[in-house]
Each structure stands twice: as C-alpha cells, then as structure tokens.
A and B are shown apart, each in its own frame.
Chain A
Amino acid sequence: MIYEGKKKIWADYQKEIPEDHYFYVRSCIRQSFFPASEATFIDITKRQLGKDIFETEHHTTCGGIAYHSDTIPHETVMTIIARQFALMKKYGYENYVCSCITSFGLYCETLETWREFPELQEKIADNLWKTCQLEFAKPKYLVHASDLIFKYRMQIAAKSKYKLINKQTGLPLKVVEHIGCHYSKMFPSKGVGGAEYPYVLVGMIEAWGGQIIDYPERRHCCGFGFRQYLIKGNRSYSVSNTHKKFESMEPFKPDMIITNCPGCPYFLDRWQYVIAETQGKTYGQDGHGIPVFTYEEVAGLVMGYNPWDLGLQTHQVSVEPLLDKIGIEYDPSAKYLGKNGKVIGEPKKPNCLK
C-alpha cells in the first residue's frame, strides 16, 4: 500500500466544513439503535468543545427510508426536505448538519436535482409554502455529523484520555472503517476523501492513534440495503452480504469497526450474531465478535466517557475485550444499570457468540 498515493487522492477530495454554527437534525433509527450516540455528539460538540449546535423538536424524518423503500413519491420527499431546510432558515442558520447518512445522501441528491431542474425547485418551494407556509431555503453548507467530528478530530485528540493503542503491546489498534453507502458513493465530491478511499473516518482513527486496515470488501454495503432487510424474504441477501465482508476482513484480524451510518453499525453488529448462531462462526478473538462502534462512541471512548453512558451495553457484540485492550476502566456490574441506577434488564446470552 502506497500511503502517498492515498494522500494524493485525499487531496483531490477536500470538502469545506465550517467550524461552527450548525442546525442539527437527528436520525430516525439511530435514536433507537444507538440512543447515546447522538447525545454524545451533542455533548462533545456543545459542552466539551463549546460549539453552537442548534436542535429543534419540530424537524421530522427526511423521508429517506420510505423513499428508498419505494413507498413515497420523490416530490413528497423533496417537500419534506425543503421543510427541514426551511426550519434551519427559520432559526437563523445556514449550516446544516445531519446525523443520518441516508438523510445526507438524500439531501445531496435533492440539492443536485434542484440544481439540475430549477423548475422542480420552484414547484417544491410552492408545495412548501402551500403546505407549511414556510419560506424555501437551501443550506449554504451541508455536512454530515461525521464530517464535523472529522473537523474536530484534533481538538478531540487534544482532550483525549485514551488512545486507540493496545495497552499490552503498544501497537496501534487495527481498525476497519465502514462508510455508509450514501455518504460519498453517489457524489464523491461531497464526502471527505471521496468515494474510493473516504478519509472521514480514517482521519479520526489516525488522529486518535489507531491504524486503518484496507480489506478487499471494504467498499461493500453493510448489508442493510433497505429492501434487502426490510422485506423478510430478502434477508438472506442482507446477511450473506455482511458475511462476505466479514470473511474478507477476517485475515486482517481487526480489533474494531468504526462506522458513520445508522444502519451499518447495527447490521455489522447484529448479523455477527446471526452468522454465529447459524454458521457457528465468529470473527473476533476467542469466540467474540469484532466490536462495532459509531464514530461518536469512539470519540466518547477516547475522551474517557463511561462506556455504559455511551450505550455500549446495547451492542450485540461484547465490547469488553476491546475496552480491556485499550485499558479503559469500566464497572462490569454497572453494565445493565440505567441512569437512575435501576437494572434495565439483561439480554439472554447467545449460544455461540460470546
């Protein structure tokens, strides 16, 4: 691998990310899958780094899941999106940051569509006014939340308590980065580092002491694929796809996986359980899986957040071996205790996956 060659490509795909003042929109599914991730994002950016990140309870879904499941028309989706942008304008922001990759992709797609077909934009603005009496606006800068963490990676590193280094060996952890398909595959110029070698997560890992590994199936989708998962009859496609990725990364012996998409960490995590329970195969050490994290979780870990406050107990693949590797202190007995100290309930142990 010629690192210089990659740097050359990264140099070609620079993306302008404003330092501060963002209108933040959440993801539909992340709030249920990884509820602490978005909270951590807010906490790191607002409290720890003192940035101006604005949220409103009035924003809705972007319509992405429905759109990608072919259940609502394009114009409807675009009107929903126009409403989100209008809210941003309404609250006095022009930088838009979203938590969801599907949303990010859809926003990019919509903005490009409007650029190509101004008459459609006119129509959507009209729809927006008719339905919501809101003034049509487009963000000046559209970024994904991971772009922002990428932007702040050095500031986070400066405040970090841990590094992504194996405490025992002193070697950097081997990290697989997984980028959501809709981040830059559709519009390579909209993603940090482009589509072929996206730099957004690589930059974080490098800044925080880890080492990225490139495995052959790194470009592959996590397996979610909307209809491939949402329709039960198609789920074999989904899990087979994920299986292919794990088979491909296995020889590289990764310590962890970092992702920037709502669906990816979920499927990379949960399908390890399904693969283990149907094939008897696990990919981590000693019968464990490979732990999968969101970028906020990783940022939180290096900054010394309590793993249970980061919601790591909701992961299927146990994170403890990794915490031990890094040397992060944690209270095993507090794993299933809620914020109020009450037991939130312990899941049943899988048969195969430790």
Chain B
Amino acid sequence: MNFDILFLLPIVAVGLAAAIHATAYLHGEALLHRPRFWGFFLATLVAMAGVVLAPGKIAFLLAWEAMGLASAGLVAFENEEKAVRKATWIYLLACHAGACLLMLAGVLLGRPDAFLAAFFCGIVGFGLKIGFPPFHVWLPEAHPAAPAPASAVMSGAMIPLGFYGLLRFFWPQCHLAPYATPCGWTLLVLGLVGALGGILFALPQANLKRLLAFSSVENMGVIAIGLGLAVLGWDAQPIGALALAGALAHVLNHALLKGGLFLAAGSVLRQTGTLDQDLLGGLMKRMPQTGTLFTLNALGLAGLPPFNGFLGELLIYSAAFAAVRTSSSALITAGFLVLAFLALTGGFAAAAYCKAIGATFLGEPRSQAAAEAVETPRRMWLAQLLLFVLSLAMVPGTIYLARLFGLGTDLLIAAAVFGGATAALAAALIALRRFLCPRGAVKPACPTWDCGYAEPTARMAYTGTAFTQPLADLFNPILHARRHLIPFRGHPATPTDAALVGETDDRALAGFWRPIFTFFARLFQQVHLLQNGSLHLYILLIILAVMALLIAAFVS
C-alpha cells in the first residue's frame, strides 16, 4: 500500500495556510528575523516533503534528521526566552534520539529474523516524533515555544509523518501472522494511553498552545488506536480496513483542524500578547472571525457531527464494534478497550475544547490586553478559513477513502446526510427564532443577569482553570497538579489580592525523563575524577591500559 499522497496533502495544505498566516504573524518581528523564519520554514517543508518522497532508507533518514533540525530552528525562533531555549533543547534531543533509533531500526530491518526488534526500535523512534507517552515530552514544550505557523505545521503535518514512517517501513510485515499480535497490541496500548493521557493533561492547561499540544498527543493516540486495531484485525476484515481508513482519515482531519487551531492560537497571541487562558476571554466579540473559526475547528476535532472529525472516529468505532462481534477473545477485548477509551477520550476532548473556547473567546475579557484586542488582518483568518473549508471537503474525502479500502459507505453517507440534516434543521430553528424574536427584540441591553449581582465583573466569571477543576481534581492522582494559594495580606478590611494558582506539569518530563538525565549526569561526574589534572594518574592510566591490552593480546 502506498500512503505517500495521503501524507503529502497535509504538508501542502497546512504549509500553505501557515505561510499565509505567517506573512501577517511576523509583522511585528524585526526585519532581520523574518528571513530566519522563512528559511527554516521552507527548509522544514522541503524536508517533510523529502521524508515522504525519499527514494530509499538513507534518503529517508537524511530527510528525517533534516526535518527535525530545520523545525528546531523554528522552535528556537523566539530564543530570548529561557523557556524557548529549553524547549528547543528538549525538541532537538527528541528528534535526534528518534533518528538514532530509526537508524538502529534500519539496521535491524535488513536482518532476516529481527523484525520485532526493528519494530520496537521503530515505534520508539517514530514515537518520539508522534508523541506516544512517555516520548511526548517535547510536544508541550516545543509547541508553545514555536511561532504559531510553525506549531501548526509541526503539529498538523509533521507529527503524523511518524505514522507515515511506521506504515512505510513496518506495515508490509507487521499485519502478517506472527507479528500482528505483538505489533498490534503495542500500537493499541500506546494509542489508548496516549489518547486518554493526552487529553487528560490537555484539560487543565492554562496555556492555550500547551493545551493544543497535549490534545495533539490525544489525536495521535486515536490514530494509533486505529492502526493497532487495523493490525490486529487485518485478517478479520472489515475490522482492519475500517480501522485503517479511520486512522488515515483522522490523520487528515487532525492535520487540517489542528493546523487551524494553532493558527488561531497564534492570532490570539499576536493580538493580545498572551496565551494564558485565565487572562483572556471575550475575544469572540473582538475577534469574531478568529473566534468563530476556532469554534468550528474545535467542534470538528472533538469529533462531533456534523463535521468531518466525526467520520474518522466513526470508522474506528465501527471497527471496534466489528471487533466485538468476532469470536476471538483478543479482538473482543481490544474492541471493548477501544470503545471505552475512545468514548472517555471523546468526552474529555469535548470538555477541553469547551474550556478552550469558553475561556479564550467567551465571557468578558480578564485583562487589559484581551479587552483591547482587535481582529487580525484578513489573511490571518483567511488561512484558518482555508483549512476549515478543506476539512469540510474531508467529508466526501473520508467516504472516498473508505471506498478505496473496499468498505461499504452507507454508514458514512448516512452520517454525512444526517449531519447535514442537523445543520439544516438548526438553520430552520434559527430562522424560526428570528421570526419569533425579530432583530430588534434581541438587541443586547443589559449585563448578564448573574442571579442578581448588580455589577458582575469578569473576575467573578469562571476561568478556564475553574472550569476544568472538578475533572482535574478527579484525576489528580495522575495529573499531580501543583496548586498554591496566594493568601491575602494586610488587614481583612483592606486585603491585598489573593489568588489560587494551579499548574499541571508534564509528568513524563518531571517524573520520568528528568530523573534519568540527572542520574546519568551525576554518574558521569564521578567518572570525571579520572581527569583530575594529575600527570601521575594519567601515566598510571596509560600503564594500566597497556597492561590490559597486553593481557587481552595474550589471552586471545
């Protein structure tokens, strides 16, 4: 099977939209910095295209490494900030570690009976790009750090290239008999954990782009679920075809929609100077086009009908149903796991996007910057519109894809038709409402009622953090949110401002990778004693080494 075109599409589409967006996004940048952005941006796109078009293993690895490097240049664009430099480093490490493992996988692939080893190397190597937990560490760091058009390209088009790699190098064998079980389960479990974990961590994030980054982890998880199911169920069609089609449709949906969302986040940042959702709010009024497009894209990505995101998930759900219907206990288990996890993920995703929309665009502005924001230049939201329109085209696109896989399309067509019916009915009801309450009657006249408070202010409103707090509390054993109260000081009659501040760090970074890195750094420092400056020690080392070599010579 050849997946090239499928993965080239997002590169072109998101690349184009991001480029349009960037022309305005960079407007405030110093003139000298812009060529740097464009250089890295184009290099990234070229390298990504190179990954897909690479004619051989070596060319693939070359393009892969180049892609990481070029995009690291994008991440480092605003390197005056420490967080950006840290993110760049983490990203570089992730890219390079991935590339190293891919080289190893390349070595192993050439051997006759090392396919599984190669697969595991590959899954970690590509997983470092895709963002399987716990290899996703770079995503929540690098996405907020990079300029929005870069994040859009990276999240929308680059991350899924990991799946492209997996499909290109491992698909021909991994869905066959002896390998299907381990490979499929690996993908499936990674996908389940990634999907649920990603969205769980997305939920309490205050930084909009960090939220989107974690939700990318979720989306990649969903794709992995689809792939895993496809591998497991390839021999029990139509499970395999359904799941694979679903996964691939989700690749495209995610690319277009997440690209649009990141661009919108960029617009917000450019117009307000912050991404902290607790300082935003009320932007739907001030940036109506951006806000509307963000809402629509989020709807699509939450997988809700009538948008295309639903169709991809529908295919995966159908695969899971089909798996449950089989007689194989492994497939039944897989099916149930997928159903439960995907449903939970869907619910959380809806919650997370509600939060993102609500906290960023709805209500009253919570800061001066948000209050003074105005709509972006036209081309910035036109870029998002472009992606949204393309994503609508994915509705027939998904049906076409399903047909390519030889699947019945009733399911999808019905979903599309009734999705359309929803839209039509909604339009009818809106018309009815307009008829019942003419425009004059709905003129906004008063502040929000708020149960009788005379002067409701934005500070009373629910912030994004407050909105997600119940769910975040429920899952705090996993999230390990840091909360601290800034108590008021002074006399109770004239208190200073008090606040409850909460942050949810990435557990994989804080709880897993950092200790490992620190451990090795400490260990290495013990070895540094060998280079203590003493000539005597140095010469002793030489003598000992020569003796060891001599012994080896005489023993061998």
A binds B: no
